[in-house]
A and B are shown apart, each in its own frame.
Chain A
């Protein structure tokens, strides 16, 4: 059974200029031990979706509807006392910027111990023992000595490892990671990704990886959600998504990626800007930037429909199946013909 089941989630913000539809009808299910990659540009609603799920939005500004079932229990709109037991204990979170998410005036140890003592009835000595263990688990050298250091004494990669240690210290069932490696160098990124994979195996936790880096998704995820304009526009198993993407926006994302293994003279770019969520375009949100848009796309929002190949592959697009297959085949051929013999 799915550990997290989200149905028709909607998040709207009231602003002076009108209502911002940040998330419009997002549904998905996450199983234990699985990794879900969530991809999209800034403003696609990917972070807000998970802030909503965790109940971290201020209800005075955000209107939320839909259902979020965690381990069979509804947590959307649940009281703070219930949420506090879930957040940090059964669902751990890792945020993008470790610099701003750690408290600069408290030692690393104090912050880790706090996370333990909030959720477990243990003595400070026991909390400290677990904190040292957690730091060792994320491969911080000389953890016993470093535990009394402050965040500024750690490098960026080490701070991110502390964030991971904090998210994992209570052995959560779900880890939600929002761009956990975006601010890091490739070598540090590789360390962090490997570490998350190992920890997932040990604890059988489910991971949600929110990122705009398709490379990270390809390496880590089992399932992928592609988000655009507050909606899921394509969902698939990771292999299906990269082998046979069905939605023009996904093609654009794949084409705009400079790759080591394929050399092209020019990157394919998605023209224009992500849509305004205050005044979203009529019809398909992607139609103003889509090279294949026709009249229907400008009038009618495409439903999420089943792809011909791939069991759990769904997408939103009005183009006929033959047309999409033809266009993607041509694009794929362009990728490979540009390839150099070496490498």
Chain B
């Protein structure tokens, strides 16, 4: 398989300025601070993390809707990190986005036909009648009635609007679709329809997805690989099976244990770790390991001094994590997140 997208040490820092005339830079919000991954054609990378962890900013940098501060993005063999607008336009034919809010991301004054056909128009594909035919075909593909070509977005329900957004993303046969929380605003039954649709389209059109969501069940359902982010950095990354069945980072463990289980019997049996506090501000993130103030396995003098780097998990071929004291066992037993004695002894190196 070929590598479609390679992201190396991607950074996005937003300046915090003070003053009206001189706009003195007083601080930086490091929204994305060193994200690297490789995505192969036809695969789905799921990105999870709490709000404010930088997952959407990362997506916008990859699509170059935001200018990255540092790092390198290679798409389809070409370095696109610093392409200008004109060159980027050609790249955008192969890279589309689907946004979270189907209410806000469609222009309320445009008809569905024009919304879905706009990418064709922008890229100068076909004449008017070609485009109309293509748009009707697209509406059919995503399960909408092609005769609704002349309707306005407000005449559709939330799920149908998300289908319109997907049709628009498909219009020019992209290779990569970045889905930023595409189902979080939808009811479960409609969510299932959209998830199934995305899977079918992936098979039919050989698509690659970056799928951003905060719902771990959804990410597990759609992804091949998973990246867990915390305050601008990946803390764990790997194949879906390994991350979900053998999480190493305590943050991943906490996220997994917090998901409500739709089965009262199983739900009562499992151990849950509820994290205290909130996600720290990326304006002033904690030193070293950014998770240390909330971490149940925190060791003073190690976690707050020495930043853990992403390292491969033992015995796994596709699983990296950034933690000094990774989880030894999963699922959690009655000791919860307590470290085994050996791990503590090994701590002061």
Interface residues of A (CB under 8 A from B): 41-42, 139, 141, 155-158, 185-191, 193-194, 212-219, 238-239, 242, 252-261, 263-264, 266-271, 273, 340, 342-343
Contact = CB atoms under 8 A, between A and B. Distances in A.
A42 B159 CA distance: 11
Given A190-B257, A264-B221, 11 more contacts: A157-B278, A186-B216, A187-B275, A193-B260, A215-B261, A254-B262, A255-B192, A256-B188, A256-B191, A260-B220, A342-B245
A160 B32 CA distance: 27
Nearest to B242: A342
A261 B51 contact: no
B272 A190 contact: yes
Given A253-B188, A258-B195, A218 B260 contact: yes
Contacts of B341: none
Nearest to B51: A185
B146 interface: no
29 contacts: A42-B158, A156-B51, A186-B214, A186-B215, A186-B258, A187-B274, A188-B50, A190-B257, A190-B275, A191-B276, A194-B274, A213-B188, A213-B260, A214-B262, A215-B260, A215-B261, A215-B262, A219-B261, A238-B264, A254-B262, A256-B191, A258-B192, A259-B263, A263-B220, A267-B195, A270-B192, A270-B193, A271-B193, A343-B245
B199 A266 contact: yes
B195 A215 contact: no
Contacts of B216: 186, 260
Nearest to A195: B274
B277 interface: yes
A269 B51 contact: no
Which applies to chain B's interface (DSSP): helix, strand, loop or mixed? helix
A269 B275 contact: no
Interface in B166-192: 187-192
B299 to A, nearest CB: 22
B189 A252 contact: yes
B247 to A, nearest CB: 11
Interface residues of B, number: 47
B308 to A, nearest CB: 20
B267 interface: yes
Nearest to A262: B263
B188 A257 contact: yes
A213 B188 CA distance: 7
Given A187-B255, A260-B220, A261-B266, A41 B189 contact: yes
Contacts of B275: 187, 190-191
B244 A218 contact: no
B217 A260 contact: yes
A256 B189 contact: yes
A326 B254 CA distance: 39
B1 to A, nearest CB: 20
B221 A267 contact: yes
A331 to B, nearest CB: 14
Interface string B189-229: 11111011001000000000000001111101100000000
Contacts of A268: 192
B284 interface: no
A259 B50 contact: no
B241 A342 contact: yes
Given A157-B278, A239-B264, A258-B221, A212 B187 contact: yes
B129 interface: no
Contact of B192 (A187, A269, A273, A343): A269
B288 interface: no
Contact of A186 (B199, B241, B255, B266): B255
Contacts of A218: 260-264, 267
Interface centre among A42, A217, A252, A269 (most CB of B within 10 A): A269
B259 A270 contact: no
B262 A259 contact: yes
B97 interface: no
